[in-house]
């Protein structure tokens, strides 16, 4: 006779379980147990009856750091984890006639081969609408989406209809340690906007956004070059392309991924079909730039003068900005990018850094290609009578 397993759950688990809608949005602040509860739901369904469950994040490294690790922790706590049940190569956990597979959206072709009875997308705001569409049309049952309310009003998730939306906060997680609760509640006085988003789980309007922009599905104009910002464990490496047509500048996000080493970046660049076009890079990484250059690409360090951040912002502000509609991370950055304030709430002459990686990449290329000084470089003008 089998044993009875008791699982401690939160309201998020109940919301998913009781929802009558096929698509369930779990929106909330930090530490509200959104992801953990969604994983518990997937495990319960896998144990109750045969299911092919797919769990998705944008990249493989982010999968390994978060939902894959959490799945093992949950199963270990329930005394259900056995190494032989998990195929590391294919990232599939099996239980009787059920399976839970972990995939990233990096491989567009692989998305077309996935068939699921349940789909769970963690940090759904990171993926584009096309990737969601390809996954959704191959899912026969419930679709679970979890994300923080940091997305812009034009994000595809906010425009979705025929779904249930549940908002939760840290207060809905009774298992949260007291010191973590204290740290979250301190945001109410330290950063009212962050408190609204991460403490109360609410969308925060950004009237102080530095950039005004529109979305486009087209890439019109001349490709003037690429911009690249480097990251690794905490920050992503980013690549953007800039297209100029008159006074309009279109920016397309091509790469936004953590955990990439030099060879990974070179492979990605080859996949984008980049030849000898200029790639203006963060000058703080000269060794990395040189390795990419030796890999066959025209990678160059950006020249940062005094107050280069504000200068780059001004260069971009000289143009009507269009962001390609599939550039989801760049859209999120552009929407949230604002001027910093002091402790009294007065605006400072510098942006509030943090979520600005793709913006930095765009700034590098704009500074080197769109200023008169650099546009005229290599041209010697004489006057004749």
User: Smallest Cα–Cα separation from 362: which of 337, 330, 340, 339?
Assistant: 330
* Share of the chain residues as helix, strand and coil, in percent rounded to the nearest 5: 35, 25, 40
User: Smallest Cα–Cα separation from 209: which of 127, 153, 280, 271?
Assistant: 153
Sign, CA torsion 197/238/226/132:
negative
10-residue stretch averages of pLDDT, the chain, 385 residues long: 83 97 95 95 97 93 92 95 96 97 82 91 89 94 94 86 96 94 93 87 78 92 97 92 97 94 96 95 95 97 88 95 92 86 71 87 96 54 46
* Measured distance CA(86)–CA(84) in Å, rounded: 5
Q: What is the pLDDT of residue 130?
A: 85
Distances from the Cα of 297 to the Cαs of 222, 274, 287, in angstroms?
A: 19, 8, 14
Q: What is the pLDDT of residue 205?
A: 66
Q: What is the pLDDT of residue 345?
A: 62
* Measured distance CA(249)–CA(322) in Å, rounded: 6
Chain centre to alpha carbon of residue 71? 21
């Amino acid at each position: 006779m089998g044993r009875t397993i008791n699982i401690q759950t939160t309201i998020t688990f109940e919301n998913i379980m009781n929802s009558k809608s096929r698509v369930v949005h779990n929106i909330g602040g930090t530490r509200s147990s959104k992801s953990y509860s969604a994983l518990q739901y997937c495990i319960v369904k896998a144990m109750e009856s045969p299911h092919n469950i797919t769990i998705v994040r944008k990249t493989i490294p982010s999968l390994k750091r978060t939902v894959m690790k959490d799945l093992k922790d949950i199963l270990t706590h329930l005394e259900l984890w056995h190494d032989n049940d998990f195929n590391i190569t294919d990232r599939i956990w099996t239980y009787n006639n059920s399976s839970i597979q972990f995939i990233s959206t990096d491989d567009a072709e692989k998305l077309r081969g996935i068939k699921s009875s349940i789909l769970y997308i963690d940090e759904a705001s990171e993926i584009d609408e096309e990737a969601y569409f390809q996954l959704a049309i191959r899912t026969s049952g419930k679709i679970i989406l979890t994300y923080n309310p940091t997305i812009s009003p034009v994000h595809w998730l906010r425009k979705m209809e025929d779904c249930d939306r549940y908002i939760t906060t840290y207060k809905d997680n009774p298992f949260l340690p007291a010191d973590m609760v204290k740290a979250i509640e301190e945001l109410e006085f330290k950063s009212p906007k962050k408190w609204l988003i991460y403490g109360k789980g609410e969308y925060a309007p950004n009237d102080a956004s530095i950039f005004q922009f529109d979305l486009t599905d087209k890439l019109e104009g001349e490709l003037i070059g690429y911009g690249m910002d480097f990251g690794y464990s905490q920050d992503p490496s980013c690549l953007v392309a800039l297209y100029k047509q008159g006074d309009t500048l279109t920016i397309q996000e091509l790469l936004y991924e953590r955990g990439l080493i030099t060879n990974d970046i070179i492979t990605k660049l080859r996949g984008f079909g980049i030849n000898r076009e200029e790639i203006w890079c963060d000058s703080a990484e000269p060794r990395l730039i040189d390795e990419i250059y030796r890999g066959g690409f025209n990678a160059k360090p950006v020249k940062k003068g005094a107050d280069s951040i504000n200068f780059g912002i001004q260069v971009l502000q000289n143009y009507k900005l269009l962001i390609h509609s599939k550039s989801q991370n760049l859209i999120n950055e552009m929407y949230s990018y604002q001027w910093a304030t002091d402790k009294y709430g007065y605006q400072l002459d510098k942006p509030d850094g943090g979520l600005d990686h793709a913006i930095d990449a765009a700034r590098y290329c704009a500074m080197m290609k769109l200023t008169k000084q650099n546009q005229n470089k290599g041209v010697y003008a004489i006057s004749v009578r």
